[in-house]
């Protein structure tokens, strides 16, 4: 069935209620590899509520949009891939909150029958208690089996370019064989990340890690390597996913620093494959 372009562009929801707890904040941190060393005090602040104030990773905002990519948009959901994620963090996320979320489909580009359709989603989250803005997010999703529906073919946005020089620093973080099963508990229950038969049918040798998990691992690496685990310093975090990560892979994050802009990209050490490109992290002045 062809996508209903006009109906999808009118797909907007306002003040969607969403609640997350301290337990979910700790789950998110654990699912991107925090506290693998359970004695590391910098990481324990993200995974243990007994400290003075539980911290939340800035990239947790990427999982605080309810039903971010609905399965019922008319696309073939088993062939849907998350390609890019963008975040603006207006203030540090509280460890638990009641939110109101606005979300919409901002654009859909028809790449052609054999290339798919590119969806651009936008969302913003605010505190339900006083309407304080917490974050804005943008997601780009490729529906690989849904091109040729007659939609617009606008130019794709140009990504951030990492510097041509050697990285200024790097951080290697392992993933676990069960990490996709853990990360999906943050809300993205796409069976592509859990069901071996479905992953095989979609062209993968086994279930793959969520792009947003790799995105969170990159944030973890930057907090550990550059920011001494200070989550309040990150105000923007953007990246493009370029190749799947298999649970159990080791992710190396290469980092370049130019003033308050950190450029980064991630590669899988075992296969020497770049899995995340065009990373940009803007720091608070």
Taking residues 113-118, report their average pLDDT. Answer: 87
Please identify which of the residues 82, 109, 193, 210 carries the catalytic annotation: 193
| pLDDT, position 285 | 84
Candidates 87, 152, 92, 158; CA nearest to 117 is 152
Taking residues 9-36, report their average pLDDT. Answer: 95
Neighbours of 196 (CB within 10 A): 12
Q: Is 109 a catalytic residue?
A: no
Residue 187: partners with Cβ closer than 8 Å, 6 or more residues away: 63, 66, 68
Please identify which of the residues 188, 238, 249, 254 carries the catalytic annotation: 188
Taking residues 3-26, report their average pLDDT. Answer: 90
**What is the model's pTM?**
0.93
> What CA–CA distance (Å, rounded) separates 242 from 32?
18
Instruction: For residue range 118-143, list pLDDT tens digits in order.
Output: 889 999 999 999 999 999 999 999 88
Residue 72: partners with Cβ closer than 8 Å, 6 or more residues away: none
pLDDT at 42 > cutoff 70: yes
pLDDT at 76 > cutoff 90: no
Q: Is 114 a catalytic residue?
A: no
| pLDDT, position 152 | 67
Domain definitions of the chain by residue range: 5-283
The topology under which CATH files domain 5-283 is Thiol Ester Dehydrase; Chain A (3.10.129)
Tokens 């993200």, residue located? 46
How confident is residue 1, by pLDDT bands cut at 50, 70 and 90?
low
How confident is residue 15, by pLDDT bands cut at 50, 70 and 90?
very high
| pLDDT, position 259 | 97
The H or E element spanning position 263 is strand 261-268
Instruction: For residue range 251-267, list pLDDT tens digits in order.
Output: 999 999 999 999 999 99
The percentage of the chain sitting over the pLDDT mark of 70, rounded to a whole number, equals: 96
């Amino acid at each position: 069935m062809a996508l209903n372009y006009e109906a999808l562009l009118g797909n907007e929801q306002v003040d969607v209620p969403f609640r997350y707890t301290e337990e979910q904040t700790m789950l998110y941190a654990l699912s991107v590899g925090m506290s693998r060393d359970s004695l590391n005090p910098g990481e324990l602040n993200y995974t243990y509520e007994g400290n003075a104030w539980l911290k939340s990773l800035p990239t947790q905002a990427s999982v605080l949009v309810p039903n971010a990519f609905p399965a019922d948009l008319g696309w073939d959901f088993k062939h849907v891939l998350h390609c890019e994620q963008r975040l603006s963090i207006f203030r540090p996320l509280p460890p638990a909150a009641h939110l109101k979320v606005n979300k919409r489909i901002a654009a859909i580009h028809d790449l052609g029958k054999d290339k798919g359709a590119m969806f651009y989603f936008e969302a913003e989250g605010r505190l339900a208690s006083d309407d304080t803005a917490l974050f804005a997010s943008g997601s780009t999703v490729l529906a690989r089996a849904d091109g040729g529906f007659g939609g617009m073919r606008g130019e794709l946005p140009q990504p951030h370019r990492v510097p041509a020089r050697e990285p200024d620093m790097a951080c290697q973080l392992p993933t676990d064989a069960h990490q996709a099963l853990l990360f999906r508990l943050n809300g993205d229950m796409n069976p592509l990340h859990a069901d071996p038969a479905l992953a095989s049918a979609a062209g993968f040798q086994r279930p793959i890690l969520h792009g947003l998990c790799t995105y969170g691992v990159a944030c973890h690496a930057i907090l550990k390597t550059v920011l001494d685990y200070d989550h309040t310093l990150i105000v923007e975090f953007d990246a493009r996913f370029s190749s799947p990560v298999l649970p159990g892979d080791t992710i190396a994050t290469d980092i370049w620093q130019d003033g308050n802009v950190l450029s980064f990209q991630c590669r899988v050490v075992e296969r020497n494959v770049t899995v995340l490109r065009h990373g940009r992290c803007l720091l608070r002045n």
